[in-house]
């Protein structure tokens, strides 16, 4: 029986072409695990040509010995791992067409591209590599978007309202969801590990590029930092210069919502979160809040902490000089109903 493998040429694409075609195809990042962890194209799969240690050794040989000895060592590693690359490809990728990239679109993606092409894959390689992609990401934050910002004091239910808006035909950008953090000192509780700021930017750009730039984009009012990740400067400036729909609910309703969301977490985690803001909260208030947590008096603890957050939010809102603040007072906690009301208000 004769087996025939169709061998395709490796197609080299610009970043715009690569982004478009990769929407329906698997994307393979052949950089090291460390490079991949720091930031990668959203939804990419890592099949590294070199391990972190191997790349460091090759780099050292290049600097201290010569280009030829570095290439010889690189080829030695590659020869030893060819079966591994192909096994990973078979395990992780079922499609006959794949997209591939490395840092600059050079040696690593070229070599792996030709290897994968020899086993019947049609390969699309990114010209300029991940560096070109990062320039594309940063350019994504430069256009003027039609942002509709939902604000309100902590516990107002902004996230739930935004979630209901996202279930409609409206465009919704969930910054806290992308950041794996709810924004406050307690925001990491119950969340997955945060991405790097670079990966946050990549995922944020991927979301923005799915939107119609001419249509409204709903999002929540945020500080520049969401936990450890930073909102890109251009986008943050737009958020701060946009009008804000300020959700207003009673403090009791806010306290009850926060108790429902956070009292389920372990006391040591809650206390640690209080300690993280103790300098801003004040020594006495921190002590009283911690004592209340230990006694499971979550209402009192939340009331104390909200005093700090309310002052901080009011101060932040005052910095929006010349911007329109549209207050919406809510008597009932019904995110779905409120979402419809806000959409109607904008229309």
Catalytic residues: 102
Residues whose CB falls within 8 Å of the CB of residue 213, separated by 6 or more in sequence, listed in order? 143, 145, 146
Q: Quick one: which of 10, 61, 55, 58 has its CA closest to 36? A: 55
5 SS3 class: coil
Q: Are 113 and 125 in contact (CB under 8 A)?
A: yes
User: Residue 243: which of 325, 322, 319, 158 has the closest Cα?
Assistant: 325
* Nearest CA-CA partner of 11 in 95, 127, 128, 133: 127
Rounded alpha-carbon distances, angstroms, from residue 261 to 62, 173, 245, 281, 306: 54, 22, 23, 21, 14
Residue 39 burial (CB count, 10 A):
22
Q: What are phi and psi of 189, to 5 degrees?
A: -65, 125
As a whole number of angstroms, the distance between CA 121 and CA 99 comes to 10
Residue 44 gets the label, from left (phi > 0), alpha (psi -120 to 50) or beta, of beta
Provide φ and ψ at 230, rounded to 5°. Answer: -115, 130
Are 233 and 204 spatial neighbours (Cβ–Cβ below 8 Å)? Answer: no
Half-sphere exposure of 278 (CA within 13 A, CB side): 14
Q: How far is CA 193 from the centre of its chain?
A: 11
SS3 229: strand
Asked if 89 and 30 touch (Cβ cutoff 8 Å), the reply is: no
Contact residues for 65 (Cβ-Cβ < 8 A; gap 6+)? none
């Amino acid at each position: 029986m004769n087996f025939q493998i169709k061998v395709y040429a490796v197609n080299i694409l610009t970043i715009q072409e690569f982004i478009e075609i990769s929407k329906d195809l698997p994307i393979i990042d052949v950089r090291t695990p460390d490079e991949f962890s720091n930031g990668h194209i959203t939804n990419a799969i890592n099949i590294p040509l070199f391990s972190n240690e191997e790349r460091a050794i090759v780099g050292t040989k290049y600097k201290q010995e010569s280009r030829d000895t570095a290439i010889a060592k690189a080829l030695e590693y590659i020869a030893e791992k060819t079966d591994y690359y192909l096994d990973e490809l078979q395990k992780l990728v079922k499609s006959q067409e794949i997209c591939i990239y490395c840092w600059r679109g050079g040696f690593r993606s070229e070599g792996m591209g030709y290897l994968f092409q020899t086993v019947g894959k049609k390969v699309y390689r990114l010209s300029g590599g991940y560096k070109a992609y990062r320039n594309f990401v940063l350019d994504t934050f430069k256009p003027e978007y039609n942002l509709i910002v939902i604000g309100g004091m902590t516990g107002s239910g902004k996230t739930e309202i935004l979630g209901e808006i996202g279930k409609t035909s409206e465009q919704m950008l969930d910054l806290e969801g992308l950041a794996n953090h709810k924004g406050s000192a307690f925001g990491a509780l119950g969340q997955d590990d945060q991405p790097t700021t670079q990966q946050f930017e990549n995922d944020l750009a991927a979301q923005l590029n799915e939107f119609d730039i001419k249509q409204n984009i709903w999002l929540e009012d945020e500080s520049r930092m969401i936990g450890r990740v930073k909102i890109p400067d251009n986008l943050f400036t737009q958020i701060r210069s946009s009008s804000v729909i300020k959700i207003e609910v009673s403090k009791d309703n806010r306290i009850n919502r926060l108790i429902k969301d956070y009292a389920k977490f372990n006391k040591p985690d809650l206390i640690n979160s209080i300690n993280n803001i103790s300098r801003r909260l004040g020594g006495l208030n921190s002590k009283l809040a911690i004592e209340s947590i230990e006694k499971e008096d979550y209402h009192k603890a939340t009331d104390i902490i909200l005093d700090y957050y309310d002052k901080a939010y009011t101060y932040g809102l005052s910095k929006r000089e010349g911007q329109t603040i549209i207050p919406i007072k809510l008597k009932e906690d019904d995110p779905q109903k409120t979402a419809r009301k806000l959409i109607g208000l904008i229309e």
